[in-house]
Amino acid sequence: MRLSLGLFSLLFFAFLYAPLVVIIVYSFNSNPVNMLVWDGFTLDWYKGLFGIGERYLDPNQRVIYLESTPQLIAALKNSLTVAAVTTSFSTVVGTATALAVARSRFRGRGFCGGAMFLPMMMPDIVLGIGLLVFFSTIGMQLSLVTIIIGQCTFLTSYVFIVVQARLAGLDPRLEEASADLGASEWVTFRKVTLPQLAPGILGGGLLAFIISMDDLVITYFISGAGSQTLPIFVFSMVRRGVKPEISAIATLIILASVIVAATGLWLRARGERR
């Protein structure tokens, strides 16, 4: 039984991570035409992403490696801007909502808690179309602002769920003891509740940031001219053909995600040791 479970786990992780390994390996392939035919090792694709270096399309023609580097940088800036704003807003609102639902008693409390799950359960394409219809109805021009508003509608739910799970494991008697000792609600929150919630808030914020950087379906519907994000830029490149540049971009995205996740785990472990 143990051997079967171990083999199943091994096959599961191999199936899960094998495509990522393939993308990383072929991002160093020097073949500019067919990325699945290995033609030698090169770093030119990574150099080209930053606008340096050259590559050969054929033995007789030399061109600048990536003609769309300015568009790539612009898309990356848009993604970082959207992710920073939506993460900040979603973290604050999601945390406040989780605290209100967990600590307060008001009419409709159960409905509010259940409603926070709806954006996560709703298919992305339905939410994207709904947001597009809403913005068109009120006459709002599609831009980075609409992307930020649209992403906040579902990223707040992710933060809410993570923080709510953290709240469920807290001992309310600590807050009661703080109040009995004469501390105000603000002092209790700042010195008792918030330090205990910090790992959950951090985890929810990092999750919101990664999802924002990765979102394609919803952002595709509510983005306008000049507000192209990195996932939409990559999607447009794939539609013109699978090229080695795409593997290089995907590898850098994987590396960034790993760094963000590792930083979150490190900060969480450091906070628990204190």
- CATH number of residue 175's parent domain: 1.10.3720.10
In a domain, 2, yes or no: no
What integer pLDDT is reported at residue 64 of this predicted model?
40
* DSSP codes joined into one string, 87-150: HHHHHHHHHHHHHHHHH---TTHHHHHHHTTHHHHS-HHHHHHHHHHHHHHTTPPPSHHHHHHH
Specify if 1 maps to a domain.
Answer: no
Q: Is 114 exposed, middle or buried (0-12, 13-18, 19+ CB in 10 A)?
A: exposed
Give me the amino acid identity at 201: I
pLDDT at 100: 85
Same domain, 45 and 171: no
Does the residue 3 lie in any domain?
no
- 179 domain residue, yes or no: yes
Same domain (yes/no): 112, 216:
yes
Q: What was the pLDDT predicted at 93?
A: 93
Q: What pLDDT, on the 0 to 100 scale, is given for residue 61?
A: 47
Per-residue pLDDT of the chain (274 residues; tens, 9 = 90+): 778 888 888 898 888 888 888 888 888 887 776 667 777 788 877 777 766 655 444 444 444 445 566 777 888 889 999 999 999 999 999 999 998 888 777 777 777 877 888 888 888 899 999 999 999 999 899 889 999 999 999 999 999 998 988 888 777 777 777 777 777 778 887 777 888 888 888 888 988 998 998 888 999 999 888 788 988 888 887 776 667 777 888 888 888 888 877 877 776 666 556 5
pLDDT given for residue 62 in this prediction:
42
> What pLDDT, on the 0 to 100 scale, is given for residue 198?
83
Provide the pLDDT for residue 202.
86
Domain boundary among 28, 44, 64: 64
Let me know whether 147 and 103 are in one domain: yes
Same domain, 37 and 139: no
Whether residue 126 is found in the same domain as residue 243: yes
Domain annotation covers residue 128? yes
Domain co-membership, 223 together with 262:
yes
Please tell me the distance from the alpha carbon of residue 144 to that of residue 173, in angstroms, as a whole number: 44
Q: Is residue 83 located within the same domain as residue 205? A: yes
Question: What pLDDT was estimated at residue 222?
Answer: 92
Q: Which pLDDT does position 82 carry in this prediction?
A: 94
User: The whole model's pTM is what?
Assistant: 0.80
Helix (H, G, I), strand (E, B) or coil at 176: helix
For residues 150 and 197, state if they share a domain: yes
Q: Are residues 102 and 134 in the same domain?
A: yes
Place of tokens 């707040």: 156
**Single residue among 64, 84, 103 that ends a domain in this structure:** 64
Cα–Cα distance between 162 and 201 in angstroms, integer?
Answer: 7
Range of the domain at 91: 69-273
Q: Quick one: pLDDT at residue 146? A: 93
Asked if the structure places residue 175 within a domain, the reply is yes
| Length, in residues, of the chain | 274
User: How confident is the model at residue 91, as a pLDDT?
Assistant: 94
- Do residues 52 and 82 share a domain? no
135 in any annotated domain: yes
Tally of structural domains, the chain:
2
Per-residue tokens: 62? 């030399």
Q: Are residues 50 and 143 in the same domain?
A: no
Residues 180 and 220 in one domain: yes
Whether 174 is covered by a domain: the verdict is yes
